Amino acid sequence: MSQADLDKSIKIITKTEELADKIMANKQELTVMDKRRQETREALRLMEKSEDKKVWITIGSMLVKMEKEKALYLLKKDQHQIEQQINLIYSDQKLLVNKHRDLEFKSPFSGTNLKPLGKKEFDALKANLPML
């Protein structure tokens, strides 16, 4: 093997490992974000069941007592932001995995770019298939 071939191989392996590191970092971040989403969902459920007019909520590292409606609004807003971040990470993850598979000369995953049917599409399908 010539030096040029070795350099090219090392470059490909380095790129592959860098992408793999990014994929693993995204996976870890998704785990953290999903845990946060779950905790926010649990907090929302508990507050909705509570009959108190004021509730304690954690903002950063502080505990603050505030009106229930305002706390619910803040939690719903936080939950929406978490969902957006998770979706962004998922879409980035799909691209990184496909790039990684390209570097390994493998075909992309076939199910990663699927999108759910819209209401009109589902209604058209339902009209043509009586079993749905």
Q: What is the pLDDT along the chain (132 residues), one digit of tens a residue?
A: 789 889 988 998 999 999 999 999 999 999 999 999 999 999 999 999 999 999 999 888 999 999 999 999 999 999 999 999 999 999 999 999 989 888 887 777 776 667 788 899 888 888 888 775
Residue 44 tokens read as 């929302």
State the amino acid at position 63 in one-letter form: L
Domain that includes residue 97, residue range: 3-128
pLDDT in tens, 102-120: 888 777 777 666 778 889 9
CA contacts within 13 A on the Cβ side of 61: 0
Listed in sequence order, the DSSP H helices in 50-118 are: 68-103
Please tell me the total count of domains within the chain. Answer: 1
b/e code 10-22 from CB counts within 10 Å (16+ = b): eeeeeeeeebeee
CATH of the domain at 108: 1.10.287.370
User: In Å, how far from its chain's centre is CA 48?
Assistant: 26
